[in-house]
Amino acid sequence: MASVVKREKMASVSEMYDVGWEEMRDKLRKWREDNCRNSEQIVDVGEELISEHASKLGDDIWIIYEQVMIAALDCSRDDLALTCLQELRKQFPDSHRVKRLSGMRLEALERYDEANKHYDAILQDDPTNTAARKRKISILKAQGKGTEAIRELNEYLEQFVGDQEAWHELSELYINEHDYGKAAFCLEELMMTNPHNHLYCEQYAEVKYTQGGLENLELSRKYFAQALRLNNRNMRALFGLYMSASHIAASPKVSAKVKKDNMKYAAWAATQINRAYKMAGRGTKENKCSMKTVEEMLESMQITMS
């Protein structure tokens, strides 16, 4: 009862932002293309679009139903998800894509066995269907069966070596299991297929840094530098460069030349960090104090080998 009243009182999206239905539709399309997962926003915009302007959307409405349904599952809006699913089922009765959506709804309701049956049916009909296989792996992940999920995902990747989303998922699963070597392998695949993506370089460097050991630290420093070269503004990579360089410099096993080089790198990184904070604090009175804080932070991050 309370939720119904609340919905009536809330202003519609079009009123709040003063936009027409075309802008809402274009925004949904942009979110689809960018693969954003802002489910609450999608539900707000999409629900209004399909309830008020369904006739004007034409054939776009089916893909919007799919997008809104998945977002609704994220937000626990089972009613909305069911409505969208029923519309899609009416229009595309034999579609594998719609069957996958029904499976996803069952997953959201935690009816995993039924969902598995759905996906098995799809796979029997079409063994090359990647979506169904990936959903089965997500079920294992949702049930907390990490090692089984890893095994299934490995089998999947043996067949479909080019699936980048799967490689990334596998690297995450390995990191959760603390198997950093294998996670690094997966990230290498991603780095090869996307050589200009600074985020993969940075993640790889972080994994290498976590693995530890002099060789891995050197590699991590190199890849942090590469991430910075690809994107000068990656602050995480900048801090990573500082940490890895100072870690190597503080290690007792290195030669004097390596120590000197790494201290030079660390010093350079520290200057850049200072510059960045200075730019961030431009125009505020606390600039001088915050600069001192940054200096202290950098000093405290120095690794001391005991």
Q: Give the residues lining the site for other proteins (CB under 8 A).
A: 13, 16-17, 19, 23, 27, 41, 44-45, 127-128, 158-163, 185, 188-189, 191-193, 195, 219, 221-223, 225-226, 228-229, 232-233, 238, 265, 268, 272, 275-276, 279-280, 282
The C-alpha atoms of residue 117 and residue 115 are separated, in whole angstroms, by 5
CA distance 186 to 154: 11
CB 46 within 8 A of CB 71: yes
Residues 6+ apart with CB under 8 A from 75: 39, 40, 43
Q: For the purposes of burial, counting CB atoms within 10 Å of the CB of 51, is it exposed (0-12), middle (13-18) or buried (19 or more)?
A: exposed
Least distance to other proteins from the beta carbon of 155, Å?
12
Question: Residue 46 CB, nearest distance to other proteins (Å)?
Answer: 11
Query: Which lies closer to other proteins via its Cβ, residue 65 or residue 156?
Result: 156
Q: Shortest approach of other proteins to residue 42 CB, angstroms?
A: 10
Residue 213 to residue 115: CA distance in whole angstroms: 44
Select 91 or 232, whichever has its Cβ closest to other proteins.
Answer: 232
Closer residue to other proteins (CB): 116 or 234: 234
State the nearest-atom distance from the C-beta of 45 to other proteins, in Å. 7
Shortest distance, CB of residue 261 to other proteins, whole angstroms? 8
- CB contact set of 41 (below 8 Å; sequence gap of 6+): 31
Cα-based torsion angle of the residue sequence 78, 83, 84, 85 in order, rounded to the nearest 10 degrees: 80
Q: Which residue, 12 or 86, is less far from other proteins as judged by CB?
A: 12
Give the Cα separation of 45 and 39 in Å (integer). Answer: 10
Min dist CB 271 to other proteins, Å, is 8
Nearer to other proteins, 71 or 238 (CB): 238
Distance CA 78, CA 69 (A): 9
Nearer to other proteins, 56 or 127 (CB): 127
Nearer to other proteins, 92 or 268 (CB): 268
Q: C-beta of 64: minimal distance to other proteins in Å?
A: 15
Sign for the CA dihedral angle at 71, 77, 78, 83 comes to negative
CB of 151 to other proteins, least distance (A): 18
Burial of 162 (0-12, 13-18, 19+ CB in 10 A): exposed
Among residues 112 and 185, whose Cβ is nearest to other proteins?
185
Distance, in Å, from the CA atom of 68 to the CA atom of 31, rounded to the nearest integer, reads 11
Residue-wise DSSP of 91-131: H-TT-HHHHHHHHHHHHHTT-HHHHHHHHHHHHHH-TT-HH
